[in-house]
Structure 1
Amino acid sequence: MTGLLAAALAASLAAGCTTSDSPRDDGRGQERSTATGDGESRAKSPAALAVKIDNARAARPHTGLNEADIVYVEQVEGGLSRLMAVYAQKLPKVVGPVRSARETDLELLGQFDRPVLAFSGAQSKLRPLIDGAPLEAAPPGKGSDAYFRGKARTSPHNLYLRPHRLMPKAPGTSVLTTGFRFGAAPAGGKATASQTVRYSAAAYTFTWSKSRNRWLVAMDGKAAGTTDGKRVMAGTVVVQYVKVRKSDYHDKLGHHTPYTETVGSGKARVLRDGRVYDVKWKRPKTKDGTTFTTKDGKRMNFQHGQVWVVFANAS
């Protein structure tokens, strides 16, 4: 991105945030939730915030991605990818660009207790499934004042979210019912400098930086950064091998939407502290989190910091 475009994008994001980020008062002394429209304060019912984020090349660099606790990488139509960023400890002022939801998201988010899902929209046939899922759907139509269009990019890569318009404060780590465990690294593992995961039209590379004690993220061969000029880095990277099949949905070009099965069991690779560990993953039911165990059957500890989970096809 040129300096001129970065400056323009920063200016447009700032312009979109000129109004107050505090929750609106509904006139009865209660904070109104734009996610539900029911006048109940989100503070009384903490929930994780999940945001579907565009990852086309025209959507980069991202905004607010470094504040996420977890970043999931999903395959979509045409061999491309999208991100699902989950926020609990901190809510950035702005997140985006925001894009549409997929059927895969519903199973993935079943591990959380009624999370708030921010997305730009969905196919009409998918909307009944979203409405019936155990989550709070918050597309622009339900939380319209939480979204704005940036001026530095063209649609559809310019929709941004103000998270504080959906919930008054960060819910805290208690809502992260993922099954992840953090702590000291286990014995074993193999020293590795980098790991690359490829889809047919997208690639992710994670390179170990000893000085930063983090994995530096690259997308399609280029270093990933954010609009505030910072690198995207992960404390732990999980390459989770899953079954990816065709769903019943497709895009306007006829490309079937991949469905990523995150319930079940299989193999995974966990990257932390400059080493890679071959582990097993297990998620018995949709409402369960995912556990990762080493070859000796012990739970795999993650490094503290942002976790990236990249879903790769097991076949």
Structure 2
Amino acid sequence: MRPGPPGTRPASPLFAALVVLALLALLGGCQDQGQGGGRTRPTEHARSPATGQFPFTGLSAKPAPVLAVKIDNASQARPQTGLGAADIVYVEQVEGGLSRMLAVFSSRLPAEVGPVRSARESDLDLLRQFGRPALAYSGVQSRLRSTVEAAPLYPLPPATAPRAYVRGTEHPAPHNLYVRPETALRLAPHASDASDIGFRFGAAPPGGEPKTRQSVRYPSAGFTFTWSAADKRWLVAMDGSPARTTDGGRLGAATVVVQHTTVRPSRFHDVLGSVTPFTETVGSGKAVVLRDGKAYETRWSRPGAGGGTTFTTTDGDRMTFAPGPVWVVFTAR
């Protein structure tokens, strides 16, 4: 301790102890005020300070704004960047039987995410369950632009948020556009925090069929999920090759949902004339939930676009997911 001014008496041991305790309490209060006054974003692959079960993963994290990013999944776009930090990854069929992903970030923010590609009409219905999230995408068809801009979300294409995007050198254009989530979310200051979208996490329900491998095929794309007991997650392969990221290694998920739904033609098409599929995520149907090396036959239900999706077992019980990242793969029934 710094000495007192000349002529002062030394403090008693009891007084000194009381001063130390008061200072510790004051410092603790200042830290609490700092966290409440402005959310400190995690660094790449770091988790937020624990304040409860996060609704997207069941892990311990505090509420945070939602950023969805439309991810390119053409072979020229792989390996992707930042995808391993997503709380939820939705896989959808697009033109030509190919696939793209809509990755949802909230509890963790990587430094960059991409490659970023254009949004689809199906994304708008899917995103409504998140309140008013931010959406990073590279653009949309001209006839869809006004619909995206009127949707309850923060649209953040490069034209709106140029400083949030950067061109990479790993892949050829147009597969080289990346978004910086921190910067993008600054332009969506009132984006909705993560909230309940119907997922439930906890111990595995009774039953389930032992399973170590599940494949999903689109006309021109394929996904395989292989259970790894050592990693306690389902490892992802795309088109027969292990899926990796540039910044996080092998891709995997604690829970995988294969959701059977209606995939119908939309009123849009790409520049080559291929019709854009529309994936219906409102309604009900069958789904297979993969967790802990088992497959569970379930039913999914989402009565309206403004609400989340519930999953129930064949016994009518609420299906629980394994805590951790969730992948949802939509496939035609």
Which TM-score bucket, shorter chain as reference? 0.7 to 0.9
Match of 2:51 in 1: none
Residue 178 of structure 1 deviates from its aligned partner by 1.9
Match of 2:332 in 1: 313
Partners of 1:109 and 1:89 lie apart in 2 by: 17
Partners of 2:193 and 2:316 lie apart in 1 by: 26
- 2:322 corresponds to which of 293, 303, 309: 303
Match of 2:32 in 1: none
Residue 46 of structure 1 deviates from its aligned partner by 5.3
TM-score normalised according to structure 1 size: 0.83
Whether contact under 8 Å (2:130, 2:192) holds in the other structure is no
Task: Tell me whether 1:175 sits opposite 2:194 in the alignment.
Answer: yes
Whether contact under 8 Å (1:214, 1:235) holds in the other structure is yes
The Cα RMSD (Å) is 2.1
Match of 1:258 in 2: 277
Runs of 4+ in 1 over 4 A off after TM superposition: 168-174
Residue 176 of structure 1 deviates from its aligned partner by 4.0
Residue 166 of structure 1 deviates from its aligned partner by 1.7
2:124 aligned partner, one-letter code: L
2:241 aligned partner, one-letter code: K
Within 5 Å, which residues of 2 pair with 1:78-157? Answer: 78-157=96-175
Within 5 Å, which residues of 2 pair with 1:1-315? Answer: 47-167=65-185, 175-228=194-247, 230-314=249-333
Whether contact under 8 Å (2:133, 2:191) holds in the other structure is no
Secondary structure of 2:297's aligned partner: strand
Residue 172 of structure 1 deviates from its aligned partner by 11
Partners of 1:163 and 1:294 lie apart in 2 by: 36
Partners of 1:120 and 1:71 lie apart in 2 by: 18
2:277 aligned partner, one-letter code: P
Structure 1 residues 86, 287: CA separation in 2 closer, same or farther (over 3 Å shift)? same
User: Percent of pairs identical after alignment?
Assistant: 58
Match of 1:16 in 2: none
Match of 2:19 in 1: none
Partners of 1:279 and 1:186 lie apart in 2 by: 12
Secondary structure of 1:182's aligned partner: coil
Residue 147 of structure 1 deviates from its aligned partner by 0.2
Structure 1 residues 171, 202: CA separation in 2 closer, same or farther (over 3 Å shift)? farther
Whether contact under 8 Å (2:84, 2:248) holds in the other structure is no
Secondary structure of 2:142's aligned partner: coil
Q: 1:13-67 deviations in whole A, cap 9, x for unaligned?
A: xxxxxxxxx99xxxxxxxxxxxxxxxxxxxxx95310000000000000100010
Q: 1:240-293 deviations in whole A, cap 9, x for unaligned?
A: 000000000001111000000000000000000000000000000000100000
Partners of 2:256 and 2:195 lie apart in 1 by: 17
2:163 aligned partner, one-letter code: D
Partners of 1:61 and 1:303 lie apart in 2 by: 26
Q: 1:77-118 deviations in whole A, cap 9, x for unaligned?
A: 000000000001011000000000000000000101100000
Which has the higher Rg, Structure 1 or Structure 2?
2
